[in-house]
Amino acid sequence: MTSAANNANPDRRASAQQVLRDVFRLESFRPGQAEVVDAQMHGRDVLAVAPTGSGKSLSYWVPAILGDGLTIVVSPLIALMKDQVDRLVAHGVHAAFINSTLSSSEQRERLEAASRGEYQLVYVAPERFSRPGFMGRLATLGVKRFIVDEAHCISTWGHDFRPDYRLIGGALEACGRPPIGAFTATATPDVRKDISSNLGLRDPLVVVTGFNRPNLQLETVHARGGRDRLEQLRRRLNPGDGRALVYIGTVKGAENTAAAISRWGFPAAPYHGRLPDVSRRRIQDGFAAKDLRVVVATSAFGMGVDFPDIRQVIHVGYPGSVEAYYQEAGRAGRDGKPALCLLIHSSKDRDLQVYFIETAFPELREVMSVHTAYSRLGVWNADPEELKPLVPEPAWLSLDASRRLLQKAGALRSDGSVGPFDHSLLDFEQLAALKRHAYTKLGQMIDYAQLRTCRHAFITDYFGEVTTERSCRSCDNCERGQGGEVVGAPVDVAVIRAALAGAARFAGRIGMVNLAAILAGKENRFSRDQPWVLHVPAYGSLSGWSQGRLRRLLEELVAAGCLTQSQGQYPMVELTDRGRAVLGGKQAVAVAIEPDLEPASMSSADPALFKRLREWRSEVARRQGVAAFMVFHDRTLNELASRRPADLLQLGAVPGIGPSKLDRYGTALLEILAPIH
Ligand SMILES: [Zn+2]
């Protein structure tokens, strides 16, 4: 850099400060921002990674206003584009957007205004670049800076690859290759490399900031089954004077959980991709107005959710990657005040994610069997129910993905007819690589769930933000003392050795579920197919333990570094060096797991109370002329007799008591349950 440029530096920074103050009424840049602004002012390419809500747009707005000429901003988020432009215009900045929401004459007018130099910033949706003539127009605009927002969309390794982003190369060329600013809220080191090479960045300034957020309290808790998940949620959920977001993997889960939360006394609604637009908008508005304090969402809820006072983001089950997790969890505490990011996970979560991966990436033989079935039908736009009997189960699960691939290969034609399928037109190696990558991501997510060390350090390492701190004051592991105190009942060393000996016997050729069954001495398909396993010493060596609890123990041994688990649909467990040392008595390990969750058993239920509840139920059933179980299941009465709810709110939290039953029987039940009896 020349000394002249160095001398210009303070001036430029001063004027950047001035723009910040005069235009945006902000006092100072956030960490990393000034550097990114400065580099752009010097015409250097930049790659900036900063989470949503950390003001990353400001880092390209300021140079666009301060510099001369036009800045093009590519963004795939059409809904947010208008918000951004509105904000800029409200601050007196000359900005406009061009996307499919405009008529072609409006688009033309804006392009003409841009070539007359009337705008400082123009936002463009990437699919515009495929429109005939658009590139030609771009060449006439005299573009001075080119910003690629959501830059991770250019990477096939990113979680949100958009093929349109590959058109950006051509657009850059058309503009005469101005300096590029690539911005994204989420990119791992791999994805950053991909962005850099795909956009052809030249010696870019790379800045990763904003992932380390000490105001977020990071915690995970293991739940034993569905009912325990709900109980853990009930125990922790509290929107305080703000709001709370609950994320869950399935539509049905979102609906059931929202209903339960409403019964607990917090107005809540489910939000998912199957809701009609009008309902979605109503929920967003309700959440904005705080009529709704809690939204229970699948990952569909995200765009434009930017409230500063979200006090909790609770995940019931983990998503498929740490990026997806932290992007959702990071919606908490945007005001900088303390907020909780809690992950309630269980052994079943992995199964759901495996299902998602397996259905998203079909293998060649599955695509071929879908093609064969369509060929037999002769058309491919018929009722899927007609297809179902013709397709084997695994191929049926990934039908949507197979259909997309067949369309891409031209085997399913737009007139509904079915042509020949030439599989050399599809890149199955690439698909297999993407699938392996998805399993790697899932493995990292599981690592986070079971982590024993500082969660904040894990997150900053994951995203490649440079921090020196290896411990914090705002994660469960640091609060417990790293590697120190463990939760639950300590497991006897003899039990640990028996489990490790079982794993050693199968030398990496057995999965966790089957190993748990063998240790428990329970026959299943694995042992029936291979009867010799009934005779290994490990078979039934821990027969006092349930299979679920053994699986939990094996997971803890993975977390403690005694076992490793391979990736893929059917991961195998294998002994590590540490595991061997523990097995041989050369090293010690402390493992604790929660006791089995007993199904609201008689142990805690008051038998006399249970009897009174049954008598009352027979009476009600007789009066109504219905079967007793239609009034309440035994299970529910059991819960009532053990929990002894004292008011309607507590009563509503008991599984099996929905709003209508609460309405109908609530008062009568409370009378029976009252302690005077
Ligand atoms: Zn920590």
Q: How far apart are the CA of 354 and the centre of ligand 1, in A? A: 29
Architecture of the domain spanning 216-346: 3-Layer(aba) Sandwich (3.40)
Give start and end residues of each alpha helix (H) in 224-265. Answer: 225-236, 251-263
Q: Name the residue type at position 304.
A: G
CATH 1.20.210.10 is held by the domain 601-673: no
Q: How far apart are the CA of 294 and the centre of ligand 1, in A? A: 27
Q: How far apart are the CA of 53 and the centre of ligand 1, in A? A: 22
* Below-70 pLDDT ranges, the chain: 1-14, 158-159, 300-305, 482-488, 595-604, 675-677
At the topology level of CATH, where does 489-592 sit?
Arc Repressor Mutant, subunit A (1.10.10)
Give start-end residues of each CATH 1.10.10.10 domain in the chain. Answer: 489-592
List CB-based neighbours of ion ligand 1 within 5 Å. Answer: 454, 456, 472, 475, 478
User: Is the Cα dihedral 194, 195, 201, 204 positive or negative?
Assistant: negative
Give start-end residues of each CATH 1.10.150.80 domain in the chain. Answer: 601-673
Please report the DSSP string for 409-462 in residue order.
Answer: TTSB-TTSBB----GGGS-HHHHHHHHHHHHHHHHHHHHHHT--S-HHHHHHHH
Q: How far apart are the CA of 481 and the centre of ligand 1, in A? A: 9
Is the whole model's pTM more than 0.85, yes or no?
A: no
**How far is residue 503's CA from residue 578's CA, in Å, rounded to a whole number?**
13
Q: How far apart are the CA of 307 and the centre of ligand 1, in A? A: 25
**What does residue 439 show for φ and ψ, rounded to 5 degrees?**
-70, -35
- H or E, element range at 206: strand 205-208
Residue 486: the pLDDT is 54
**How far is residue 33's CA from residue 55's CA, in Å, rounded to a whole number?**
9
Q: How far apart are the CA of 551 and the centre of ligand 1, in A? A: 27
Q: How many helices (H) and strands (E) does the chain have?
A: 30, 17
Q: How far apart are the CA of 231 and the centre of ligand 1, in A? A: 25
**How far is residue 119's CA from residue 114's CA, in Å, rounded to a whole number?**
6
Q: What is the mean pLDDT of the chain?
A: 87
Q: How far apart are the CA of 586 and the centre of ligand 1, in A? A: 29
Give start-end residues of each CATH 3.40.50.300 domain in the chain. Answer: 3-208, 216-346
At the topology level of CATH, where does 3-208 sit?
Rossmann fold (3.40.50)
Q: How far apart are the CA of 587 and the centre of ligand 1, in A? A: 26
Q: How far apart are the CA of 158 and the centre of ligand 1, in A? A: 27
Q: How far apart are the CA of 475 and the centre of ligand 1, in A? A: 4
pLDDT digits (tens, 9 = 90+) for 74-101: 998 887 888 899 999 999 999 999 998 9
